[in-house]
Structure 1
């Protein structure tokens, strides 16, 4: 199979943030970048081979003031803290920080940034610097598998190579090639003490007596630092100076040293935008002391509609031979462990008194109580590891049962600290303890699963040999060809990690093959030191069979499994309606759920320390509200309104921190209405308030054992629901067929009316020197003191020497043909078009925005749906239902097709209560997230389908929003367009299949729904 890539808005935003920092930099000319490569001391007779030209990066033409203004503009667009100066280092005068959470594709982003910087400004020489061989191999793999994707967009490929001190001829090509060139290098290759690592600084006979670093630095490369926080040692930073970088772009989820930060996508953003997997934990809590209590492990509590809850418990049992063996059995109420253990004295008095599925507890008559995941009694390390392996296998099967029908391969990753525990060459079968335990536990659980009804999934399992479904990936001894423990760095930024290239190479070569259901390997054992080499999107279960230590944070432990999964065709499972139903990472911890989650949330909270925490007037003033009609700056007066709104409603406390009552009200949909002055931009104001961090914003980390099954009940089989489903179960294709001439006319009218371009401004600052400057920097503060600042408007563009493809830029931004774009631009008045000379970039941006608004209006006017024969399968009602967070579920329901409804707000819970108790309702359903209506602005998932009794006007109603009041309902432009499209969809369905019987409405309460019914 082949991984697919697509353009995503959040990644484009990260790329654009970098590109916009250099707005005004003219595209490089061939003359500006051509130079003669140093031939070195060539051997006699071959001098002519070394007289070729090289192509370096053009120098920055922007001054410090222009650069800083661009950076501040980018920061304002994202409401990031504004930089007061360019943060210069000895490595470069331009240092940009891009913060991106693990799993969101930062490697993809900086590769795309390379293409964009080349496209916009002509820069072509890039060096990606990484802290370890693991990341180096991963970057090289990413450059390889994204090549065709970027070729489609940019019509060119990157020439890339991994720096090798024994293959220095690649530096000649890097310098002489005029295309986009990328060198990938790990810090050990230039900042370590070994002889091979020092070659980069030495005059080498096999390199015409040149120093490799001189040939590299002559290109004025752009440095991209991947995980820069691991490259902050003095030796590394000193070595980086030698590259003479044009600029440094730093990409990380956890920056330690801050420079000019221009983009932020942190852990909270990534989770809220559904860009990474949800996290669930199976904790194992040890009670009692070894050898002092009867051994008991409560694995789970199983519920069923046909019988009372049962507890799945492991305990010891005496065999006829006298041997003591641990067995896993299901227990019911009144079961006696003394009898079941065949008379072991330690179990006297252990009679089951209660099995509580709500609290996940098992109680005995002697007062002993166990929670799911707790193990009591004689618990040594071997027992703990067996439990972890068992739980990982169970979690794997649970996920596979749900995801297999959708073509999603599930992988489980075990990290171990010693190869011999998995592969023991002294044993006849070469299996270590963990391999043996795995096969025992896997076979036992597999037998249970195979008792299910015959399905394609069961057939798939039967075809897999248990011995071939697990594999180990370790370092390989080059002499013996056997797996060995890898050599691990003992100190420095990479302490605890391996530099074994063979191990990483093997893992990465299997990346795409492992995603195929044809490949039997589903369970992977790898050494803990190789953890950074793992980057497979379909890792759904992670289990660390090792002692926890302080060198690895919980956040690092889960990082390998955060990427969103892909199916068998390589498509990423990232549709907003289902992304967190499908993408849930389970961590099987060797500690209690509470302890693991507490440590993980502490790690995440600390990573968010750079977020603002005080919501005062000063914070809100000057921030930007992004609206459909353009950006709105928060004036001091608007900032005061926001601040007073928070105070008046107790949404902020005496220290100006956001309170829990704000987040609770927002979750329930009961926020107090904003002042009149703010209501026009309500959605943006709430987003601005949410940018102030409080611990109440932290996303939940679920207990993987808590979710229970939510089976379809008898309501699903009712004739009324079948009739309802037959009426709405229609798919349709849409078309938007509007006249280009009409669009041209409307766009011209709107551009003439609304296109206004602000003239470029330039700042003149004067100052005087007050101190001497040393080589190392400034003495006692600044060398210059600013005396005056003057701002002027420039009515003539400073870009007059830059040639713009105006038609091409507008066509690209509006997705229109060049012909239609040209017709629009030709039609606008001379007075409006003249503004292009004043500020070309602003003119293009505003023109694109205004034309797109006219397009959106015409989409609705010219949209048509054409029903097709295809319908939704019934399995959309069962997909994702086995694993849900029941903390949001209320009481068992009477009229819903499931026993429970998982609601998103207090208003929605109230709606369900009234809906379920209404005697006029026969049956209703909260529609599954797979029920999607296509629209030109994205798929739409209606919430509810309701069928009423005969005698009532028999309708089916969909409720798109269930908010506090219709007047305070805040819908984005996209939501409004989706709703309008959905109305057209159901109008067409009614016209063709069910006249007058299917109705779509947006309501805010059950009362409003009944008004429409009556």
Structure 2
């Protein structure tokens, strides 16, 4: 394989005299035609196809008889591989030149982003990706879920000022004349008029060092190359040096957490961090009067963090690495900027060369002379234009805000590749996470990224073993039991592929699987999902709820009617007579073949294979697992199986397997839901109430609770004073509406923490409703205690069997509570019925 690179000729580089054919193009053309033992590759960028004369002019010498490079390239009938295909839409000059003048045998377009084609107008308007003869499509969701790239942990800091309403708005612009700015600070507003060359610090001192460089018909451009349109707002805090300093400190903490783990591996990984900044001059000064404040700020923070690292118990080699870093802070970091190409500074040139071109040197721990190579912090302004990335970037810190959503997605992509160790070997077996640190204006990035990724999820997707493990844990099931249930119901196949025909039914039965992207692949450290954000409990409101809360937290036991024992034995026997005992499972493979019809690539279904396999279980384990899932005594299960074997003579040891187990469990659960509703009662247990989810053992309220226990989502704003908590944490839009609804006559109300009450249900599980209310009667004479089960569904017919069983259990439980002297109204709420209507109905009783 022989690589040649074509670069634009620099001004003044062409010597006088004979105008020779470009050497690398000539080598490519001659080698391709004359040498069959090599593959010749020629690398060039799109600008050479459209702007440079190097390909189009006639030269004094030739290659294989061709004096013009484009004609010479045409003669080789090459294969063209296009990287970054979104830059080569089919109607662009560069692409048309490839088609019409180079005339390749084949074009392979390879990249993460493709151009789009829009057709139709109005309601008929349709936009789709410009895929031509699509051979392979690995969507983002699959890449994350299959651990082909790093996961992402996004993190941001709230503004230091504590105020999110201090903004600068561009109200109007006059091309090449002036721009009008409005500073909004609380309820006060101040107008400013700026001309080209004016400093933005005239509007707010936080913008020190940024100037207005251009005014267009629709917006403005600043000296940090940020472009803002008329009507856009800028958040003041993102330009404040103190805020940037905190972001640097946060990024360094995350970096060293990762670096410590990577260094202590048997095959070490050099850990890099990438910083995107607004202004090159804040890091690198070309003049004596310029002040690189960001560089000084970084070195100060780095020194402090390195000194902290030495206090950790680390191995001797890592200690030496940290000490070498402390001895020369400037060697630990470097930058690359577009202007560096014109710099005469040798150190800048050497730094840029290492970062941009010599990646293996950057990823090494030592220089050739044996001294430590401590450079691992990279600063840049416009990395996208350089096309740079490095697999060992584990932290990206954005000290500036992006413009477009596409830019944001591409920037995070700079750190998603799987890393290599110090020997250049790709590490593909472990899971890695990219720390992605942004300012507060991009606080929603993680959610937006997940939405963007899930747009690409096809109609048929795969679930992962990790997801099965998590869902099984949440439901209190064994992983294999859950897996076999999914197989038995034909929700998935043995390749974990979801059956398209049963997709909706599957997601209704198991909504936990519906999210395309695995839960832990893109996380937001600010939401508290991983670290447990705390929500304050309002103590005065808890005291109003205390009596109701303690009553519904008293422990009760569930007793089935005596007749049920006999019903269970008969039911199990009838289930066995329906032939759930099978010898083996059957699997069918699906094969897709990619072929050409002469013009386009087609995918057709090929011939698959049929597989039969067994998964036997020891009889004692078979009984034990059946007992764990049905709660039927082991003796009863054994008695029924023996009876069936003696009377029907159909059981052999090959039938005692995973498939039979799953079939029996499924059939027995269906029987329970159909036959045991209401055939049980509750009895109060003589147990002293200890601490609860909201209270300490002495009965006093806790100060705070983890957000995830009362709601996975968090809404901005402050809830009504009557609400139990100081934040709006919820799981569904209907719950959010309930929380922000300030209903008359309600004394206090609150979301019930997940799984806190744990009312026992007849299927062996527990149930905890959603809301609790203390309400004043209309005549003011008596308080009403109301418990509400909120279901964000259109009709109660949409309830699953398990949900109906829980609600049925709750109704009987609260009836028993009434018999024991404490009345609680239990109500169900679905879409279309407000909490105010529900309370009004109870008040009218």
Q: Same fold (TM over 0.5)?
A: no
Higher relative CO (Cα under 8 Å, sequence separation at least 6) belongs to 1
TM-score category by the smaller chain? 0.3 to 0.5
